Structure formats: structure tokens, C-alpha cells
């Protein structure tokens, strides 16, 4: 039996940048087996992490068994879906990247059912996030379990400090509310989101830049 971690590790390993879009998105295509233990890890990954959002009904629904083509962003989240019969999607991909795509089915960042299950209000979620940011840890990293950029940021931060708190928002209780609260606090939609001594520094690329120029150690050594 494949576990969610097995599926995540497999998909993260096989995802490759789609040619011509400079690592902005990934393209996954072709119908596949969706039954039991023989189900494609790609299908299981998408089903587990992203339901499909129908703008007409305003609700999410499961990914169809005969799914066709998905546009997946660099964090592994589905941002667009086409039916199996769609033959030309190049224009749609370009429009999707530029934010011009309309009339298509988009996947929610978290399943609508998970939102319903959340017992944490937006205010409580924001306080939870702020308490983590301003807590005793030198570094706080808000991450997604399946995101390779998040894993890279964690590995780098572990080399820099033992005072690190990792908040894996997609696997925790009330994670949907916490995820939205993090976005509200920082204004950034993608993950990871890294804080050093209460200061937001950005994502993994920002972290790596600070490491390269040596500024990260100065930030960690500064008095609060």
C-alpha cells in the first residue's frame, strides 16, 4: 500500500520543468490507472493534494477517473485542468501563466471539505502564525510537505541553526486556515515562507541568496 509520503516522494522526484516556461509550471498528461494499489502515484498525488474547483457551481469535486491534462505549479499544486479530449493547450498554458485564462476548471489550493472541517477562525489562525513568528525559535519555516523548495529551505536552515521550528501547514490540524493566515501576514502566496528572528525574508530563493552573500548569519546573530 502506497502511503502519502511514498506518493509525494515519487511525484516530487519525477516532476520536471515543462520546456519553455522557465520552471514556472509543470505539465502532467495522459490518462492512467486509478484503481487501488496499481493507481498511478501522479493521480494519487493530485487527488490527495488538489480537488477540482468548478467556477459555475462554486464547489470542489474529486478529480475524474479519466482525467486528461493538468497544469501543475512549481509547488506541486494543480492550477488548471483540461478534459482528455482537449487537443491544443499551448495557448491555455500561456494564458494561465499570464493570469488571463478564463472559463476553465481550476483546482483549489486546499479541498473545500477541509475548509469546512477547520475549527480555527481566521483571527485565531493569524494569532497562531504570529505567535510562531515571534516565538523563541531563531528561524521559523512555514512549509508544504510535498514541496521540493520547502525541503531545500529546511535542509539549509538546519545547517545554520538548531533553533528551527518547521510548521508543515498542509499536514497539520486546521492547516487550511493556517495556510491562509500565513499568506495574509506576508502577502506571499507561495511556500516556503521563512522568518529569521521574527523578520520575513521570503522563500527558498531569497534564503539561498542571503546564504550566498553571508547576510543570513548576521541576521541570526542580531539582538531581538
pLDDT in tens, the chain (224 residues): 445 555 555 544 444 443 443 344 444 444 455 556 666 655 565 555 545 545 556 555 555 544 555 665 545 555 565 555 555 555 555 555 555 555 444 433 343 344 445 678 999 999 999 999 999 999 999 998 778 788 899 999 999 999 999 999 988 888 889 999 999 999 998 899 999 999 999 999 999 999 999 999 889 887 54
Q: Which pLDDT does position 3 carry in this prediction?
A: 54
CB-based contact 187:129 (threshold 8 Å): no
Instruction: Give me the architecture of the 118-221 domain, per CATH.
Output: 3-Layer(aba) Sandwich (3.40)
Of 106, 110, 107, 108, nearest to 172 by C-alpha is 110
- Predicted local distance difference test score (pLDDT) of residue 4: 53
Domain with CATH 3.40.30.10 in the chain: 118-221
At 221 the pLDDT is: 84
pTM for the whole structure: 0.52
Cα separation values, 88 from 84, 93, 98, 167, 194, Å: 11, 10, 18, 40, 39
Closest CA to 76 of 153, 20, 174, 149: 149
Bond from prior residue into 192 cis (ω within 30 degrees of 0): yes
Sequence-distant (6+) residues with CB within 8 A of 156 are 204, 207, 208, 211
Q: What is the 3-state secondary structure (H, E, C) of the chain?
A: CCCHHHHHHHHHHHCCCCCCCCCCEEEECCCCCCCHHHCCHHHHHHHHHCCEEECCCCEEECCCCCCCEEEEECCCCEEEEECCCCCCCHHHHHHHHCCCCCCCEEECCCCHHHHHHCCCCHHHHHHHHHHHHCCCCCEEEEECCCCHHHHHHHHHHHHHCCCEEEEECCCCCCHHHHHHHHHHHHCCCCCCEEEECCEEEECHHHHHHHHHCCHHHHHHHCCC
Amino acid at each position: 500500500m502506497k502511503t502519502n509520503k511514498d506518493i509525494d516522494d515519487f511525484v516530487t522526484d519525477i516532476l520536471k520543468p515543462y520546456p519553455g516556461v522557465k520552471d514556472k509550471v509543470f505539465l502532467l498528461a495522459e490518462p492512467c490507472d486509478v484503481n487501488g494499489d496499481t493507481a498511478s502515484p501522479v493521480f494519487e498525488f493530485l487527488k490527495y493534494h488538489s480537488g477540482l474547483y468548478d467556477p459555475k457551481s462554486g464547489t470542489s469535486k474529486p478529480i475524474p477517473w479519466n482525467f486528461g491534462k493538468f497544469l501543475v505549479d512549481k509547488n506541486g499544486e494543480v492550477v488548471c485542468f483540461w478534459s482528455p479530449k482537449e487537443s491544443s493547450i499551448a495557448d491555455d498554458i500561456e494564458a494561465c501563466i499570464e493570469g488571463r485564462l478564463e472559463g476553465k476548471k481550476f483546482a483549489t489550493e486546499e479541498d473545500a471539505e477541509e475548509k469546512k472541517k477547520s475549527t480555527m477562525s481566521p483571527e485565531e489562525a493569524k494569532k497562531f502564525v504570529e505567535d510562531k513568528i515571534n516565538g523563541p525559535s531563531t528561524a521559523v519555516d512555514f512549509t508544504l510537505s510535498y514541496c521540493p523548495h520547502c525541503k531545500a529551505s529546511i535542509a539549509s536552515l538546519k545547517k545554520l541553526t538548531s533553533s528551527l521550528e518547521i510548521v508543515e501547514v498542509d499536514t497539520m490540524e486546521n492547516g487550511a486556515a493556517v495556510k491562509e493566515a500565513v499568506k495574509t501576514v506576508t502577502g506571499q502566496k507561495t511556500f516556503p515562507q521563512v522568518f529569521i528572528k521574527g523578520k520575513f525574508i521570503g522563500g527558498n530563493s531569497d534564503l539561498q541568496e542571503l546564504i550566498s552573500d553571508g547576510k543570513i548569519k548576521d541576521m541570526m546573530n542580531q539582538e531581538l
